[in-house]
Each structure stands twice: as C-alpha cells, then as structure tokens.
Amino acid sequence: MSEKQEIRLAGFGGQGIILSGHILGKAASLFEKKNAVFTQSYGPEARGGSCSADVVISTQTVHYPKVGNPSLLVIMSQGAWATYGSSLNPGGTLILDQDLVTLEKEPESVTIFRVPATRIAEEMGKKIVANIVMLGAVAALGGVVSYESLKKSVLASIPPGTEELNVSAFDKGHEFGVDLLKRLKAPA
Amino acid sequence: MADKDVLTGEHFIHGDAACAEGGIASGCRFFAGYPITPATEVAERMARRLPQVGGVYIQMEDEIASMAAILGASWGGVKSMTSTSGPGFSLMMENIGLGMMTETPCVVVNIQRGGPSTGLPTLVGQADVMQARWGSHGDYGCIALAPASPQECFDFTVDAFNLSEIYRQPVFVLGDEVVGHMTEKVIIPPREELRIVERGKPQAKKEDYLPFDFKGPMPAQMAVAGQGYHVHVTGLTHDERGYPVITDAVQERNIRHIVDKIRKNADKIIRVESVFLDDAEVVVVAYGCTSRVARQAVEDLRSRGVKAGLLRLITIWPFPSNMIRQLAKQVKAFIVPEINYGQVAYEVERTAQGNAEVVLMALMGGSIHRPDEIEESVLEYF
C-alpha cells in the first residue's frame, strides 16, 4: 500500500515559500525516513513574483516528481490563490494566510483553515518568519509530517544564531493550529 | 581538510549541489565557470566548498575561458570541472574540441534548459543531446551520462571523473533543469566505499616517454607539468610525442585513436537500466527527468497487465546500439519521449533498422511529460 501525499505551498517571492517547501521535504526525507521530492517554480523576478514549492511524500519510490492536484494546499498570497486555487484536490485541505487571502467563494468539499501567519510574525517583530509560523500551523493542521520532524528540519535549515526566533515562530504557529482544531471541534 | 571533501551521510540537496559534491568527492580541486541558470547552483556550491578543501574556484569572463582554464588545470595535474547550460555549452564547444584532441581529462556538467539561443532560461529542455555528441568540429568519441535524480547527480559525476581519467578526455554529465533543481535525499557513502580513479604517473624513463599512444585501445599515461617529462600539447594533428605533423598519415593514426578509444571500449562504458524488458512488447526509451515519468508509466501499465518495458539510458553516449538492435527483433515498437524535437529518437530509429516502429513523443521544452501521455502512446500497440 503506497501512501502518497502531494503538497503545494504558494505565495510571492520573498515570503520564504521555497525554503518552507525545502524544510517540509527534508522533514519527511531525513527525519521520517520517507521518500520526498521537492520541486519549485518561480519567475525571473528576485522578489514579488508568484512562486510555488511542491513536495511529494511517499512510503514508496517517487518516480513522477511533479505535483498535479495537491491534497494539501498552503496559500500565502491572493495571486497564488488565483493561480493555484483550482489545483486543489476535492476532499483536500486548504490552509490560508487569512490576512493576505480572501476567498470570494469557498471551494466545495475542501477543509479550510485560516491562519494569521504574517500577523503573528509581525507581532513577534519579525515579519520574515511568517513562513516558519505557517509551517508550525501545517504541523498541527496538515497531517503530513509530525511536529517533532518538522521542528528538527527547521533547526537544520536556518542560519546559525536564529534558532530561538525560528523555534518560537514555529511553536506560535503550531499552538495556533492546535487551538484552531480545538475550537472547530468544540460544540457550537 | 581531508575530512571535508567527502560529506559522508544523508543530505536533502538538489541535483546541482550533488554534482558539486560528486566532483569534490572525486578529488576535483579546480572549478572555472560562468554563472548560468539552471546550473548556477553548481558553481555556487563549488565557490563555497572548494576553499574548504584546498581547491581553487575561479569565475571566468565567459564559458570559452572557463573551458580553457579547466583544460590547463588538468595539464597542471589537478582534476578539474566546469558547469553550464545550453548557451554556455555552445561557447565551450571550441575548447571541448581542444580537450578531445589533446586527450585532457575533465568533467563538464550541462544542466539543460530550453533552447536554442537564450530560449527558456529557467525551464527544462533535453535538446543538447546531439550537441554533446557532435558539437565541436571534427571527429571524436563522446561519453555523456544522464542523471535522473540528485543521488545520480552525485554518483554519475563521480563516474564521469573516473571515465575521464581512464579514457583521458572531457566527459559530460548531461543533466536537465528538473533534475538539477529537484531536491531529494542524497546518500554520500564513506570515503572507503567510493571508487575513485586516481591519475597515475608515467612509468617510462624520461627519454623514452611518449605522451600519446595511438596503437592500442587505451590512451597513454598522462604526464603533467612538473613531473619532469617533456610534453608538447597542441590542437594540431600530432604524433606520439605531441608534435604537430600535418600529414594524412598522422591524421589517420591520431583521429582513429581518439574515436576508437571510445568506440572499441563502448561495451565497458555503456550503462543502462533495464526495467521489465524480458517479455516487453513495447519499450519506452528514456533518459534524465523523462525516464522518471516513463518509469511511472511503465509500472502503471504493468499493474494493469500490459507488457511494457523501459530502457533507461544512463550513458546516452556511447549509445547502446547493440541492445536496441537486439530488442528491435522482439518488440513491436519503441516509444521515445524526450524534451526536444527528436534526437535520441533518431538514434533509436537508426539502430532499430526497421525491425520495430519508433515513435517520438516530443516536447519543445518548459515542461515534462505526464505518465498518462506515455501510457496512451504505449497502449496504441495493444
């Protein structure tokens, strides 16, 4: 039985989308001993253009490396939603940065989680870690890699001296995700 | 320093970085290059890593100079390498010919993008296959390895260095943007498990030594600067001493040698991966990133009972002609998906000699095939 998951993270250049994809893939590959392929697409712009990071995770060998219709889609800009929104597999999970993305119409048969990743990062005084906050939320909500593996992968991927900041960002995102799940499960 | 050259362990890195690590693990200590998407990350990694292991990285003014510099470094006694993509590969052609004529070991990594000209700088292509074989003027033999994963970028770069030392000529790692920019687990083995061909020293007495040997199927042992041997290196047609002799007789010896050392050793050089070939009725021939798609398609087809097989080219050059010739007698058709308008497909057609149909599935570049497209092509024959 092959357990294959396709994940797409998308936003604009400069948000750390590509690094997020790398960290997610590394978590699965090195810390959960699964097979993971990480690919990326971006335009010629250094910053501001739309970009996406695709990760395929499987217990078996991954031959075809690309993501077609992801089962988990993480969106961090309105432009990325316009480009990639329709790619999400029915029955899949959508995680949004709620302050940067508004949905005119909610897609059907999709689980939607709204996470204020950029706002949480700004409240920490470091907007730059919004991607790590979002990864923390993905650990809680995405169901693809464990909190422990993802945290190890964050620590193995960031510049020395930024451990405290990044772990704190990761934990804030994770806490938000765990609380969100509790709130959604609580009877109305 | 020595402990930093082989980064034994598990890494999550892209194909470009793995090419650089393969080079360093092979003993490459000189890199000259010019940045170009999608091969820039090879140079970046080398720029950071070579100083850690006592090596030299030079960013040259262009790719013509880069190729010249790695030939010079090789004659200086150091394993050397460069990396580029289509436009830079075109510029390197002149000095690649010099490397072939002077029998100079070195490795050229080409991470292919869409061409011709500037083409698709950030997107995939596989259209430099024939350029790798025939791009520089005149006759010479060619070795080109096509990795399909970051792990193979490491392994095949090591293999390319070994082949370049054994056959004394530039060897190509013919990657593509998808594989170069794809990130996967790469396992770098312990140093003692790596098979590295070191450059030996000539055994002959100084007065008897000949830097070139046109008799046998193998090249002479190379002497490098500083070993005390008299060596003359020229792009002109030369005799066994390396001195120019502009006659048809010496041209016969010299050129037959540089072609035959590959042609007559082709069976030792050719590497392929055979998947379900024994009873296959239709065979997909693929390489690089496209071979991963083909593998998926063939496995899907087999799970439905369709007798499809995959011949994956690890060396595109030398081409496994005998194998295709044999297969052509047992299969209905070859399907050749590639990201160009027909290059390996021509070679398959030529060697199949009309015994099986050959179907080209061409993409002009910028994207890869989908497994279902390849499956559909195969199913036409069932």
Q: Which residue has the tokens 């991470």?
A: B111
d(CA A157, CA B119): 33
Contacts A40 to B, Cβ<8 Å: 181
Q: In chain A, which among 6-45 make CB contacts under 8 A with chain B?
A: 22, 25-26, 29-30, 35-40, 42-44
Contacts B295 to A, Cβ<8 Å: 63
- Phi, psi torsion values for B375, nearest 5 degrees: -60, -45
- pLDDT tens-digit map of B355-379: 999 999 999 999 999 999 999 999 9
| Closest CB from A29, A66, A68 relative to B184 | A29
Instruction: Give A1's pLDDT tier (boundaries 50, 70, 90).
Output: very low
Give which of B195, B148, B171, B164 is closest to B96, Cα–Cα: B171
pLDDT at A43: 66
d(CA B279, CA A2): 26
Count Cβ atoms within 10 A of the Cβ of residue B29 and give its class: 0-12 exposed, 13-18 middle, 19 or more buried: buried
Question: How many structural domains compose chain A?
Answer: 1
Walk me through the domains of chain B, giving residue ranges and CATH numbers.
2-193 (3.40.50.970), 273-379 (3.40.50.920)
| CB distance B4 to B53 below 8 Å | yes
Whole domain around residue A162: which residue ranges? Answer: 4-185
Q: Which of B7, B10, B11, B12 to mutate: most A Cβ within 10 Å? A: B12
One-letter amino acid of B188: I
| CB distance B218 to B212 below 8 Å | no
- pLDDT tens-digit map of A119-129: 999 999 999 99
pLDDT at B274: 98
Q: Of the ranges A28-37, A48-57, B59-68, B346-355, which one carries the lowest mean pLDDT score?
A: A48-57
Pairing outcome for strands B183-188 and B315-317: unpaired
Chain-centroid distance of CA B79 in Å reads 16
pLDDT at A44: 64
Contacts A39 to B, Cβ<8 Å: 178, 181-183
d(CA B351, CA B321): 6
Residue numbers of chain B with a pLDDT score lower than 70: 1-2
ipTM: 0.94
**Contact assignment for A43 to B10 by CB distance below 8 Å:** no
Closest CA in chain A for residue B187 = A30
Mean pLDDT value of segment A143-161: 97
Which CATH number characterizes residue A152's domain?
Answer: 3.40.920.10
